[in-house]
Amino acid sequence: MALQGAPVRCRLLLAVCWAVAAGTAAGAKVVPPPSNLDYSFIQICALNWTWNPPPNISSSCNLEYASDIIINEVPQDIKKWSKDLFRVTDAFLDEEVRFRVRSECRHDNTTEPSPWVETSLLPKGIPGTAAVDLSCVWDNLEYMVCKWRPGENASSDTNYTLFYWFDGLKNPEKCSNYSTDQGIFGCIFSFTSPNVTTISILIRADSEEVRPVCAIKNPTTLVKPATPSQVTLSKINDKIDVKWSESETFPKGCLLYEVKYRNGDLDTGRIIPSEENSVSISGIDPNSKYVFKVKAKPRHGCYSSEFYSDWSEEKSIGDKRDSTISLVLIITIPLIVAVSTIILLVYLKRLKILILPPIPDPREILKRMFGEQNEDSQNCAKDDSMNAYDKLIMEEEIHSLILTETSETPNSEKENR
């Protein structure tokens, strides 16, 4: 019976505790809220939210402030507790930002937190005109290359301007090296500060109708090495040594490499990782041609980037028979042999005629001989008759000439007299 009554007494005790707690909560004192909540820009993409402490706070109150950010009515779940009377946050200029804060006596069950106090930062400009798809790459630890597209509602003649700032700059700097390629804007500026943890980028236009946009970037996540250069290949027996130059801008040991090689004209190949700027590949076919290329990647112990460099220019070593040339040879050699055989047969036939001419038929020779004599006699008879006719004509001309001269002579004598 005692064992059966124990649970009942426990339940009664628990109920009493809940009643005491409810009564205490009902009579708990609410902490006054902060006052004069406001904001100011401390640099191009950072806001400083400030407020004043609540009045009449007991010295026994462990006063702290809880602050939160809401963007486009969506809480960002980045609530922060602090004793400070300010909080620095990123500026999201292309969206509506609400900042709220409240005061509370932490670890005090006799008080309730104050109501939220909030203020808003409204975006300026026409929606859809801000730059979109902003991406940046820290190229070889020398240059920051940023690209973006214009907003869908931006006019075709909108010109964007990029400003950047990081710890160490007194004032924001303006990027001046712009480019446009197929509707994508880009700008490059020098950046060689290895100890910078964040860089603020602001893109806006001269027109107030275009909304500005801010972005906070961590440079160590944007590192992209330069393409490996001076790739050299050497082959000894069944081993190929590949070597390339090291980057002068990266600390020693902060780059990893991948070497890809393939046999001949195959599209697929094998990738070999390397921590040094060289690699040796053994067991190769000495009668084959091999093609190599190299790319680099930052080591995670140095940087948090996932960007690879571009592949280096392909280098090849070794000889390989080209299947195309072999096919051409297979087709052309028999063709050349056939043509040469035909030409040789024709040439031999003509040579045989020259060496062993055919024996003429005597009957043909006699026919030709007698036929030529008959033709000659006929031609001679024709020539004789023609000559006789010509002689008669010439004699007549001579007689007529003599007669003409004889008749003219007496007349001339008379005239002379």
Asked if residue 112 is part of any domain, the answer here is yes
Asked if residue 359 is part of any domain, the answer here is no
Asked if residue 110 is part of any domain, the answer here is yes
Q: What percent of the chain has pLDDT over 70?
A: 73
- The verdict on 170 and 95 lying in the same domain is no
Question: Is the model's pTM score more than 0.85?
Answer: no
Alpha carbon 204 to its chain's center: 27
* Cα angle for residues 212, 72, 46 (degrees, 5° grid): 45
- The verdict on 114 and 150 lying in the same domain is no
Q: What is the pLDDT of residues 282-291, one digit of tens each?
A: 888 877 888 9
Answer yes or no: is pLDDT of 274 > 90.
yes
Asked if residue 164 is part of any domain, the answer here is yes
What is the total count of domains within the chain? Answer: 3
Q: Are 158 and 208 in contact (CB under 8 A)?
A: no
Q: What is the pLDDT of residues 92-146, one digit of tens each?
A: 888 899 999 999 998 888 889 999 999 999 999 999 999 999 999 999 999 999 9
Instruction: Give dist(CA 119, CA 37) in Å, integer.
Output: 7
Single out the residue in 59, 87, 121 at which a domain terminates: 121
Domain extent, residue 298, equals: 226-317
Instruction: Give dist(CA 26, CA 16) in Å, integer.
Output: 15
pLDDT band at 268 (very low <50, low <70, confident <90, very high): confident
Instruction: Give dist(CA 77, CA 70) in Å, integer.
Output: 9
Asked if residue 392 is part of any domain, the answer here is no
Answer yes or no: is pLDDT of 360 > 60.
yes
**Other CB atoms within 10 A of residue 54 CB:** 18
Single out the residue in 292, 317, 342 at which a domain terminates: 317
Q: Considering only CA atoms, which of 117, 125, 107 is closest in space to residue 34? A: 117
Q: What CATH number should be reported for the domain holding residue 109?
A: 2.60.40.10
Single out the residue in 223, 244, 275 at which a domain terminates: 223
- The verdict on 21 and 113 lying in the same domain is yes
